[in-house]
Amino acid sequence: MPVNRLTEYLEANDVRFVTIKHSPAFTAQEIAARAHVPGKELAKTVMVKVDGRMAMVVLPAPDHVSQRRLKEFCGAEEVELASEDEFADIFPQCEVGAMPPFGNLWDVDVFVDQRLREDEEITFNAGTHTELVRLAYADFERLVKPTVGILSTRN
C-alpha cells in the first residue's frame, strides 16, 4: 500500500495523524466532497518543471498554480506543468496523480502556497485515490521544509 512509506515516516518523526478512506476520486474537488473535507482545507499536489527540474506545488484544492507567480518567485527562466508520463516513475509506490506533498521523500523540491498556512491542519492524498492523511500543518512544514510563497490563483 503506497501510504506505508508516508505513515512510517510520520511515525518515525512522532507526528500525530489520521487517515481518511473514501470512495475512488480523481480530482481535488471530487476528493473533498467524498471525504467530507472543505475544498479549501484539502491540499492538492501539482507537478511542475522549474527550469527543467521536477518540483511539487502544493495548494488549496480550489486554486490553480500561477506559472507566472512561480516563475517570478523562483527567479526561473521557465516554469511549465509536468505531464504524468514525466513524473510517474519518480513515485513508483504511488498511484499517478495521488502523490502526497512530501517531495523530500523522493528528492523533489516542494513549493507551498501560503494560503495553506491559514489552517492548523493539512489534508492531502496519501498515495492512492482512496486515502487521505490529515496532520498538523506545523508538522508538515517541519518535516518537508517547503519553500512558501504566493503561488496560486483562485477562480
φ and ψ of 20, to 5 deg: -125, 120
The pTM of this model reads 0.93
φ and ψ of 4, to 5 deg: -55, -45
**Rounded distance, CA 86 to CA 99, Å?**
14
**Cβ distance 126 to 34 under 8 Å?**
no
CATH of domain 3-154: 3.90.960.10
Segment 75-99, tens digit of pLDDT: 999 999 999 999 999 998 899 999 9
Segment 7-49, tens digit of pLDDT: 999 999 999 999 999 988 888 888 888 888 888 889 999 999 9
User: Within 13 Å, how many C-alpha atoms sit on residue 133's CB side?
Assistant: 27
